[in-house]
Structure 1
Amino acid sequence: MADLFDRAPGAPNQHSESAPRPLADRLRPAALDDVIGQDKLLGPEGPLGAMLGSGTLSSLVLWGPPGTGKTTIARLLARETELEFVQISAIFTGVADLRKVFDAAKERRRMGRGTLLFVDEIHRFNRAQQDSFLPHMEDGTILLVGATTENPSFELNAALLSRAQVMVLERLSLADLERLAQRAEQALGRPLPLDGDAREALLEMADGDGRAALNLIEQAMGWEVEGRLDAAQLADRLARRAAHYDKSGDAHFNLISALHKSVRGSDPDAALYWFARMLEGGEDPRYLARRITRMAVEDIGLADPQAQAVCLQGWDTYERLGSPEGELALAQALVYLALAPKSNAAYVAYKGARRAAKATGSLPPPKHILNAPTRLMKEQGYGAGYAYDHEAEDAFSGQDYFPDGMERESFYAPVERGFERELRKRIDWFAKLRAERGRD
């Protein structure tokens, strides 16, 4: 397929006309107007459409899920701007290969023709390789169009991002995939051998990936069947496509963020959905157990002191039962957290205390709360004036325990929810006693 993708826009296909070509290749759009599902980007008011309308095109990074048209758009941009289209993949391209690409682009420029260099999986290039593009982008030798499924903010150098605009492509909706299916039926001259429910099920299997949808359609078109298959018959013939999920990539962080925020937002149903999505994607349940326990500490805290214990019990149950039964214990802990009263007061207090500790350096504790096991330490005033709280009225002396010369700080502010209501009463009570005894 290399020569098919690397040929210049408008050049004839070097394969024999009789050679088989995948349906996805045969239906590749011939103009930007034919691209399905990216109207927000390519429409007259979209960022890329407006750029083309003004006759100016800068280097780009196309960021989006698989099968959303990144390669197709890059090829059509080269055609629109009459640039030579050159495609490389970061997976198979080394330093020597890049040097050859840049040299060829320089020669092409010397002959009066520009180059659109399309780099697939650009995030897989290391920092030095990404930096090698910069001088050639700056002097106009190449117009770079990179494609990535990962968040460019994390995967691409700031220097490269400053010279390229990031364009976000969206996964295809069911309506988009239906338009694609109709286009395929028109090209093949016959309808899909599926009833309505089976047709929708097939498109759902594609999971927003246009290329996957066309591959599934091509497979279904090859079946010799009488009449139309229903959804159950389709399921017997096709395995559901695995959801797009990379345990070390952007999808991983997006889903764990969705899970955490669903718990924080007290929505057990959404929390269970994202939990299930991660498990279906192959996530390690132990990672989820750890993150669920973190949610108890960070977002519930002392509003429900049992929450952390529920998570640890669920984690321990998973370790004893293993998969798949153990995941139910984690799901139960997740539901408990979602419905528990929420407070990040202890978390905020901890961060505030850390900031204060960093700012105050090495201030020593006040001498009245230091032990004095030796005569010398007693002579230095260690322990002098210490009030033993158990002997004080209400078992509260109200002494100051902050360093000498440091203003008293208030880090912990309990919320009026759950068990922290009781803690709020205690804090207010101690503050009242401290004020009465002249210790505030």
Structure 2
Amino acid sequence: MSPAPEDTLFSTAGLETVPAGPLADRLRPKTLDDVIGQDHLLKDGGPLARMVQVKRLPSLILWGPPGTGKTSIARLLADATDLHFAPLSAVFSGVADLRKVFDEARKRRAAGQATLLFVDEIHRFNRAQQDGFLPYVEDGTVVLVGATTENPSFALNSALLSRATVIVLHRLDDAALEALLARAEAEESRALPLTADARAALRAMADGDGRYLLNMAEQIFTLHGDEILDPAGLAESLQKRAPLYDKGQEEHYNLISALHKSMRGSDCDAALYWLARMLIGGEDPLYIARRIVRFAAEDVGMADPNALLQALAAKEMYDFLGSPEGELGLVQAVIYLATAPKSNAAYKAAGASKRAAREHGSLMPPMHILNAPTKMMKSLGYSDGYAYDHDAPEGFSGQNYFPDGMDRQQFYRPVERGFEREIVKRLEYWHRLRQRRAGTDSASGDSDDA
């Protein structure tokens, strides 16, 4: 291929041509086969591949992290299905822009061409604006393809969701990011000036975002020439990116759930990782502390009664010291709770006892355990027959404390782990004594010790 006239002119003058645009834009995929990291959607058998094969495209919601190809895929889907591509950003558009798009789409439809309306960050439209799409989607004026980084279940109207297929894009894995770097090097006709370790660090810094990776690569190409950078030099050259984390959105709940379940699964190291992710992402440490305290009672419980004290101490330490020193208390509490014996018996007992309380209504306590501070109350039988447990043999009277008319129930069922092993022994001992007091224990002369 002969060089363009402007290329010849620049080279004759000893100058280089200016690239046509940013590296990320120059490397936008030209066909769906060029898209990296989304094989589950675009290769044989994938949902988007099947739609393209039959050239029938329903309205779609493309849900995935930044830099995973949502805009490129939407544009290429339009090309592959012979639709006019009409892009719109929810950040910069209002009602007037929508009216204009719909009017133009209606004219194109009358002329025999359908329109793919691509709405970037569609979750930023309010619910009334989202409802405004419905008639145009239903009558076929547009095929709506919305892109969002937020969970559509929370960010979009149910009416709009019911008319669209949600397509989930994956964050780019290490192999996909490496493939992007190889394309960047081919485009620039030279290798990135990085050691192998620095190259791996660059991929890690991208955090699954292909666009961010290419922007960093372009910065390295521009600023460093042939200077080989190691990880330290790379870190000094590029501003380190904080992990993706929005403490007001779904990621907030995903990560606290990951911390909770890692501690429940006794995986101390995974729990510390999720704790670090939240702290680095800017989560309020006191929110984490509240969840740690809850975990101590819900998932460790009486298997280790000290767990709750450790969790509360961590909260107090953070209150006293603040960040970053106080965060060490959270670390210690997470380690303690993740490695503690686990029991949710107290948590289950709370739920069971509440259900029984609702089921049985307003039953009065039995008369023998009611105080009788007046003569009238004594005459009515209040406290009559009450057995003072400290005066009973073994310090246990075995009296009934449930309401009259309600059978005795067992809400708390401790497990054979940690301190609850001892509680099991005590409950079994008192059960035998209770049976004996009621005259149902046929054994005699047993020597039971609590």
Q: TM-score, structure 1 length as denominator?
A: 0.91
CA distance in 1, matches of 2:318, 2:418: 28
Q: Which runs of 5+ in 2 are unaligned?
A: 1-16, 441-450
Q: After superposing the two structures, state which structure 1 stretch, 272-281 or 340-349, moved more.
A: 272-281
Structure 1 residue 189 displacement after superposition: 1.9
Amino acid at match of 1:43: K
| Contact 1:399 1:439 survives alignment (8 Å) | no
Partner of 2:327: 327
SS at match of 1:223: helix
Alignment of 1:22-41 (within 5 A): 22-41=22-41
CA distance in 1, matches of 2:382, 2:110: 83
Partner of 1:243: 243
| Contact 1:259 1:275 survives alignment (8 Å) | yes
How many positions carry a matched residue from both structures? 424
Structure 1 residue 48 displacement after superposition: 1.9
Aligned pair in 2 of structure 1 residues 439, 306: CA closer, same or farther (>3 Å)? farther
Aligned pair in 2 of structure 1 residues 401, 126: CA closer, same or farther (>3 Å)? farther
Partner of 1:57: 57
Aligned pair in 2 of structure 1 residues 131, 325: CA closer, same or farther (>3 Å)? same
| Contact 2:122 2:147 survives alignment (8 Å) | yes
SS at match of 2:363: coil
Partner of 2:112: 112
Aligned pair in 2 of structure 1 residues 138, 407: CA closer, same or farther (>3 Å)? farther
Partner of 1:389: 389
Partner of 1:3: none
Amino acid at match of 2:42: L
Query: Is the counterpart of residue 174 in structure 1 residue 211 in structure 2?
Result: no
Query: Is the counterpart of residue 414 in structure 1 residue 414 in structure 2?
Result: yes
Partner of 1:151: 151
Q: Which runs of 5+ in 1 are unaligned?
A: 1-16
Partner of 1:9: none
Aligned pair in 2 of structure 1 residues 79, 337: CA closer, same or farther (>3 Å)? same
SS at match of 1:150: coil
Structure 1 residue 64 displacement after superposition: 1.0
Alignment of 1:107-146 (within 5 A): 107-146=107-146
| Contact 1:42 1:48 survives alignment (8 Å) | yes
CA distance in 1, matches of 2:399, 2:169: 61
Q: After superposing the two structures, state which structure 1 stretch, 252-261 or 135-144, moved more.
A: 135-144
Structure 1 residue 20 displacement after superposition: 5.1
Alignment of 1:19-418 (within 5 A): 21-418=21-418
> Which structure would you say has the larger Rg?
2
Instruction: Give a deviation string over 1:86-134, Cα, whole Å, max 9, x none.
Output: 2222223334433333333333323322121212222222322222222
Q: CA RMSD in A?
A: 2.1
Q: After superposing the two structures, state which structure 1 stretch, 30-39 or 365-374, moved more.
A: 365-374
Amino acid at match of 1:273: Y
SS at match of 2:413: coil
Aligned pair in 2 of structure 1 residues 384, 53: CA closer, same or farther (>3 Å)? farther
Instruction: Give a deviation string over 1:238-291, Cα, whole Å, max 9, x none.
Output: 122221111111222111111111111111111111111111111121111111
* Percent identity (aligned): 63
Amino acid at match of 2:300: I
Q: After superposing the two structures, state which structure 1 stretch, 20-29 or 168-177, moved more.
A: 20-29
| Contact 2:56 2:81 survives alignment (8 Å) | no
CA distance in 1, matches of 2:379, 2:75: 85
Aligned pair in 2 of structure 1 residues 436, 133: CA closer, same or farther (>3 Å)? farther
Q: After superposing the two structures, state which structure 1 stretch, 330-339 or 219-228, moved more.
A: 219-228
Amino acid at match of 2:414: P
Partner of 2:444: none
SS at match of 1:145: strand
Amino acid at match of 2:428: D
Q: After superposing the two structures, state which structure 1 stretch, 73-82 or 150-159, moved more.
A: 150-159
Aligned pair in 2 of structure 1 residues 98, 385: CA closer, same or farther (>3 Å)? farther
Aligned pair in 2 of structure 1 residues 419, 190: CA closer, same or farther (>3 Å)? same
Structure 1 residue 400 displacement after superposition: 2.5
| Contact 1:400 1:439 survives alignment (8 Å) | no
| Contact 1:44 1:53 survives alignment (8 Å) | no
| Contact 2:296 2:307 survives alignment (8 Å) | yes
Q: After superposing the two structures, state which structure 1 stretch, 42-51 or 377-386, moved more.
A: 377-386
Q: After superposing the two structures, state which structure 1 stretch, 119-128 or 250-259, moved more.
A: 119-128
Structure 1 residue 227 displacement after superposition: 4.7
CA distance in 2, matches of 1:240, 1:383: 72
Instruction: Give a deviation string over 1:161-195, Cα, whole Å, max 9, x none.
Output: 22211111111112111111111111222221222
Aligned pair in 2 of structure 1 residues 377, 51: CA closer, same or farther (>3 Å)? farther
Aligned pair in 2 of structure 1 residues 402, 439: CA closer, same or farther (>3 Å)? farther
CA distance in 1, matches of 2:43, 2:223: 38
Structure 1 residue 375 displacement after superposition: 4.0
Q: After superposing the two structures, state which structure 1 stretch, 375-384 or 406-415, moved more.
A: 375-384
CA distance in 1, matches of 2:62, 2:170: 10
Structure 1 residue 74 displacement after superposition: 0.9
Q: After superposing the two structures, state which structure 1 stretch, 329-338 or 393-402, moved more.
A: 393-402
SS at match of 1:201: helix
Instruction: Give a deviation string over 1:124-168, Cα, whole Å, max 9, x none.
Output: 223222222222222222211111112222222222222211111
| Contact 1:398 1:439 survives alignment (8 Å) | no
